Amino acid sequence: MTRPIRLLMLEDNPSDAELTIHELERAGFEPDWVRVDTEQAFVQRLDLDLDLIIADFKLPQFNGLEALRRVRERNLDVPVVIVSGTIGEEMAVRLIKEGAADYLLKDRLARLGVAVGQALDAHQQRVEKKRAEQAILRMNRIRAVLSGINATIVRVRDRSQLLAQGCEIVRTRGEFEQVWIGLCDPSGADLYWIDPEDNETSVSTPPPPLMQMATLALDRGRPVFRNDFDLDGVERRAVAVLPMEHSDQWVGVLGLCTDRELDSEELSMLVEVAADLAFALDYIDKAGQLDYLAYYEPVTGLPNRRLFSERLEQAMQMAIHTSASAVAVVGFDQSSSMIETFGQSVVDDLCRSIAQRLESALGTQKVLSHFGAGVFAVMFPGQIAGAALVHAIETCLMDPLSEPFDLHGKELRLSVRVGIAVAPGDGLESEILLHNAEAALIKCRDSQEHYSFYSQEIHRRMSRKLNLENRLRIALEKNQFVLFYQPKVDSKTGELTGVEALLRWDDPERGLISPGEFIPLLEETGLIVEVGNWVIGRAVADYRDWRKRGIRIPMVAVNVSPRQLRQKRFVDCIGHAVDAVGEGHLELEITESVLMEDTEGSIKTLGILRELGAQVAIDDFGTGYSSLSYLSRMPVTALKIDQSFVFNMTKGPNDLAIVTSIISLAHSMNLMVIAEGVETEEQARLLRLLRCDQMQGFLYGRPNRSVQLRSS
């Protein structure tokens, strides 16, 4: 099957152009192509519909480098592949930095199909990622509106105040130019409009075109919207009117005006905003509205956690001397990612489908509840335990949810996890029993089991984890953390080039604790930010102390966690640290996988850190996945070869080839190479032969406390 592409070719040799097309066709492409050989013709042909540009590197009056700059000046996201008769390694690296997707020599056109395929696939991934990011921004914007509206509904009891604040929330959080609300009179025949700037109902009306759209929306019973609409003589991109309905009655309309184009997904979420406002307006004078919001989950209409807990407590009190009550908490592995993937409205539809299946399977004897965030709970009252309870879990929960769900045309199978707790053994109070069922659910997810009963082992494990977290907080308060330093040496001379600061916990009860035991919990709890800042401050203080004592250490390196890198104040923290030690004396070690999580954001942040005077090394290089084009743009100074490759490089050819490639790649980009985990003379000898710049490991020194380092 051929793959059509729209191609612009910058080539002054017709024969070479024909050979290029021949290779593309042989590789399965169907090019619709145009050849140009001058700068003027090339610029004239640049447009948004191009799929690919193939450019000869050198033409009589123009070259591939200039072509890349012309593409960038036009803000075109089109992959550019450079071909050339000859091209040096330095120029190849420069082309990649300037934005070329790939480059190849004309005498090696057999690789053209692969290069073009990879360039097009990478471009498609960028487009899809950008589209997904825009969708998430839209979703977050409307979710912020929904959240604000719902909070206002619960808090505000006055009708006029609700309308005024509702308009303001939709306008500011939803980023709309103007917002109107029109209310139906008691007969539902006419609209009267409220002024969002005034708490009192007003006859202030929107422009006639919007009023006509409002009438049309109520007549049709669905939203009416137009993009590129001229309102009040000012060109607006979109105007929408959404009918507000509750209990089969029209409550009014919500009118919106924005300078951006509305798409169907954003419009569908705005329908929820209108529905929430209608719901509030219809019930604001009824005490039952507040009771509903307090006791029921609005998406599914099921009892929420508060009502479920009260009913569970009642059942346990009634059955405390005669029978057991069991609680099952149901969760799904995909919960955290479904909203980002499908959008809030689609996930709400899924929750309603789950609720329908469970209600049908459970019948009226069991109490079903929805806690939100894709978590459901079931109470099995009465005498049920052991094998009978397992059978009920499988037939009433696992089996109904094992069949796929239809999510707006997409089939989704859920990975269902169930945590179970049984009274009285697992708790005599509703909240304790419920908490223990949730603990069993966590165990399910950790162990990848389908369902799990609460046990004392789970309790002990969670207690140990909680105890460790509390002790870590105390350790930070009482200065129980210490830094060890491991030297780095020049591969050729053996001279000290710097030290790496390594965190240890000197626990009064257990002594020194390995970082592998407590750093993951620091990351999970967010304490890593405070501890990481402490590490930077301590390392800077030690460095200044060494300098006062006349001990010359060229550089001190600290490890940076993902949470630290995302902190807004991190750049300021590093700026102060560099001021204290001097430019070029502080190195930040950041793992490769962290940088790839948000490539563009990482490039921007690292650029600022480099401007401040900090050195930046990519740690554990080779264990993640880095795009060469992104790597070439990263403002880093060094690559650290992961110790697993160093350890195995003397045992087989594969890891040796990886180490060789990393060193060659780094040097082609003018980066320093540091090998960590060097333990033997044979490893050191091979690394020196491969021109590795620096080495670190037990062969040159084990990590030591700063006081021991200073006295050595």
- Does 487 share its domain with 450? no
CA distance 150 to 163: 13
Residue among 452, 423, 418, 454 at smallest CA distance from 436: 454
- Does 74 share its domain with 93? yes
pLDDT of residue 203: 40
- In this structure, is residue 570 part of a structural domain? yes
Of 247, 267, 292, the last residue of a domain is 292
- Does 328 share its domain with 361? yes
- In this structure, is residue 507 part of a structural domain? no
Residue 54 region by backbone torsions, left for phi larger than 0, else alpha for psi between -120 and 50, else beta = beta
Of 292, 318, 348, the last residue of a domain is 292
Is the Cα dihedral 219, 224, 229, 233 positive or negative? positive
pLDDT of residue 493: 92
Of 292, 326, 344, the last residue of a domain is 292
- In this structure, is residue 138 part of a structural domain? no
- Does 312 share its domain with 215? no
pLDDT of residue 712: 39
- Does 576 share its domain with 671? yes
**CATH classification of the domain holding 381:** 3.30.70.270
Beta-sheet strands, E only, within 206-361: 224-231, 234-246, 249-258, 326-332
pLDDT of residue 535: 94
How many structural domains does the chain have? 4
Q: What is the per-residue DSSP string for 124-150?
A: HHHHHHHHHHHHHHHHHHHHHHHHHHH
Which pair of tokens denotes residue 433? Answer: 């029993």
**CATH classification of the domain holding 490:** 3.20.20.450
pLDDT of residue 55: 86
- Does 284 share its domain with 216? yes
Contact 374, 302 (CB under 8 A): no
pLDDT of residue 200: 42
- Does 541 share its domain with 401? no
- Does 320 share its domain with 180? no
- In this structure, is residue 150 part of a structural domain? no
- In this structure, is residue 475 part of a structural domain? no
pLDDT of residue 133: 73
Q: What is the per-residue DSSP string for 641-705?
A: E-HHHHHHTTT-HHHHHHHHHHHHHHHHTT-EEEEE---SHHHHHHHHHTT--EEESTTT---EE
**CATH classification of the domain holding 41:** 3.40.50.2300
- Does 681 share its domain with 541? yes
**CATH classification of the domain holding 168:** 3.30.450.40
Q: What is the per-residue DSSP string for 10-58?
A: E-S-HHHHHHHHHHHHHTTEEEEEEEE-SHHHHHHH--TT--EEEEESB
Q: What is the largest CA-CA distance in the chain?
A: 96
The domain of 445 spans 301-454
- Does 567 share its domain with 699? yes
pLDDT along the chain (712 residues), means of 10: 86 86 86 88 82 85 85 84 79 81 81 86 83 73 78 74 81 82 67 56 61 83 78 68 80 83 77 81 59 78 89 76 74 69 78 90 83 87 69 87 83 87 83 89 82 72 72 89 94 93 91 86 82 93 92 92 83 92 93 75 88 91 64 87 88 85 89 93 92 94 69 39
The shares of helix, strand and coil residues in the chain, as percent rounded to the nearest 5, are 50, 25, 25
pLDDT of residue 573: 92
- In this structure, is residue 464 part of a structural domain? no
- Does 585 share its domain with 605? yes
> How does DSSP classify residue 303?
B
- Does 361 share its domain with 230? no
- In this structure, is residue 346 part of a structural domain? yes
- In this structure, is residue 182 part of a structural domain? yes
